[in-house]
Amino acid sequence: MGSKEARPGLSGDSAEKPASEPGSGGNEALSPAGSVEARRSGLQQAIEFFGLKRSIVGLLSMVILVGMGEHMAEQFLPLYLTALGAGFLSVGFLNGMDNLLGALYSFPGGYLADRLGTKRALLVFNLLAMFGFAIVILVPKWPAVFIGAIFFLSWTAISLPATMSLVAKVLPKNKRTMGVTVHSLIRRIPMALGPIVGGALIYYYRDKYIAMYGFEVGSPMGIREGVQVAFGAALILAVVAAIAQQILIEKDPPKKPGEAETLVEKNPLKMWRQMHPSLRNLLISDILIRFCEQIPYAFVVIWAVGTATQKGPVNTVEFGILRTIEMATAILIYIPVAYLADKGQKKPFVVMTFIFFTLFPVVLYFSHTFWMLAFAFVIRGLKEFGEPTRKALIMDLAPEDRKAAMFGLYYLIRDTIVSIAAFASGFLWVKSPGLNLFTAAAFGAIGTIWFALRGQDLSGPREKPAEA
């Protein structure tokens, strides 16, 4: 080691001095230059660890802004529909429509992302969502909800292939799970805060009407006004998101003449032939698991909050808190799970995810107080255990030059089939909430067993796709 001892307060040239002798306290490390360099090094390490490239930061900004508006309003659409005079079947229909549109938009979304480039495609998708928000704001009738939903429900589904493609382009393969995880984690911030703000708006207008007119607590008055204000805020945030996205997300590198047409596959049947058998097995199990999720999905808020004629165990603000508990649980597990998944096998994390999907409807059935519901929503948060890992697995198994299109095809097939269960969910709920919840759990159990037995991890030998 060095022979000189550094004196406190004289650290400006510490970079040029040899290291201090033992016992000197190592004051060179405390120099302003050294401290700045250490902070810069630490920041750089954090940026590299989380995969925070400029385009990823732009993407995450968009996710927060659009997501905040989306979850302020959409979470309470079942209550809004019933407040406008629609019945439980319309709630199930909206859920089925959400899944079907998500399916139909996924492949075109992937195609447009590959064809137009990520930046321009995301702008188009944002404009569609804004148009849908505007319809619901301007026309406070329940049929207008379904018309507007054609546009604003599309945002997540149509933009997801572009989002995953951007992650795959910007980040190296050993950072993709972390990149998808950071995206999923950031998505949970508006998912956690949006329902609280939306619930508070409904609660405010409800109390206002009770104070003015003496309506009962179960009255739909306040729900309509609160949800419409939430959609107004969603429209403003979407505009800001579109501006931020165009500033921060970098353009795709220019393609050679004719390259776009040769790389972008328009025919989903040809894409299906290029899908790896291991990805097909994941798809089958994922369909069964989404049956488990979507059959009760739209009715969770009704189970918790109740309706105008039958009050539930919590109010809209408390339901927002429950959603925050769910998202906080998901956020806490995302980073460590992503780190471990990038280092080793992905399959065990996906299996654990499917188990939590299966448990949620069972636990929800026995939840009739706030604290039991809080426990159920912790389980619901834990179902995100391996969700980023599952998405990263899809991207790893997709062809390198057609990742967005393959991701879109996967969701096209999955959500088209799952929409059948979502459309049927209203009939099951009218028959019996218990029938709805336990039917969902049965599908979850089958899907979990299928993937545990048939699912393949990338750490094993890769199967070749079927020949076109």
CA nearest neighbour of 118 among 435, 126, 289:
126
How many other CB atoms are found less than 10 A from the CB of residue 172?
Answer: 9
For the chain, helix, strand, coil in percent to 5 are 75, 0, 20
Q: Which pLDDT does position 37 carry in this prediction?
A: 57
Q: How confident is the model at residue 55 (pLDDT cuts 50, 70, 90)?
A: low
Q: How confident is the model at residue 207 (pLDDT cuts 50, 70, 90)?
A: low
The yes-or-no verdict on residue 116 having pLDDT over 90 is no
- Assigned token pair, 259: 């390259």
The yes-or-no verdict on residue 48 having pLDDT over 90 is no
Q: What is the Cα–Cα distance from 303 to 58, expressed in whole angstroms?
A: 37
Q: Which pLDDT does position 467 carry in this prediction?
A: 42
Q: Determine what percent of the chain is predicted with pLDDT higher than 90.
A: 16
Q: What is the Cα–Cα distance from 164 to 168, expressed in whole angstroms?
A: 6
Work out the mean pLDDT of the chain and round it to a whole number: 76
Give this prediction's pTM.
Answer: 0.65
**Is pLDDT larger for residue 417 or for residue 115?**
417
Q: How confident is the model at residue 415 (pLDDT cuts 50, 70, 90)?
A: confident
The pLDDT tens digits of the residues spanning 374-388 come to 999 999 988 877 776
Q: Which pLDDT does position 251 carry in this prediction?
A: 67
Q: How confident is the model at residue 392 (pLDDT cuts 50, 70, 90)?
A: confident
Q: What is the C-alpha radius of gyration for the chain, rounded to an integer number of angstroms?
A: 25
The pLDDT tens digits of the residues spanning 235-266 come to 898 898 888 877 776 666 555 555 444 455 56
Please give the backbone phi and psi of residue 311, each rounded to the nearest 5 degrees, phi first: -75, 140
Q: Which pLDDT does position 67 carry in this prediction?
A: 81
The yes-or-no verdict on residue 80 having pLDDT over 80 is yes
- Assigned token pair, 386: 């391996």
Q: What is the Cα–Cα distance from 121 to 245, expressed in whole angstroms?
A: 11
The pLDDT tens digits of the residues spanning 295-321 come to 999 899 999 988 767 788 998 889 889
Q: How confident is the model at residue 51 (pLDDT cuts 50, 70, 90)?
A: very low
Q: Which pLDDT does position 465 carry in this prediction?
A: 44
Q: Determine what percent of the chain is predicted with pLDDT higher than 70.
A: 69
**Which range has the top average pLDDT, 97-101, 196-200, 277-281, 325-329?**
325-329
In the chain, where the domains are located = 54-250+268-454
**Is pLDDT larger for residue 175 or for residue 444?**
444
CATH homologous superfamily of 54-250+268-454 equals: MFS general substrate transporter like domains (1.20.1250.20)
Please state the separation of Cα 55 from the chain's center in Å.
18
Average pLDDT of the segment spanning 286-300:
93
Q: Which pLDDT does position 121 carry in this prediction?
A: 78
Average pLDDT of the segment spanning 157-170:
66
User: Worst-scoring range by mean pLDDT, 34-38, 103-107, 273-277, 360-364?
Assistant: 34-38
The yes-or-no verdict on residue 155 having pLDDT over 80 is no
The pLDDT tens digits of the residues spanning 393-411 come to 787 777 766 766 787 788 8
Average pLDDT of the segment spanning 198-204:
82
Provide the terminal-to-terminal Cα distance of the chain, rounded to the nearest Å.
65
The yes-or-no verdict on residue 198 having pLDDT over 60 is yes
Q: Which pLDDT does position 349 carry in this prediction?
A: 81
Q: Which pLDDT does position 328 carry in this prediction?
A: 87
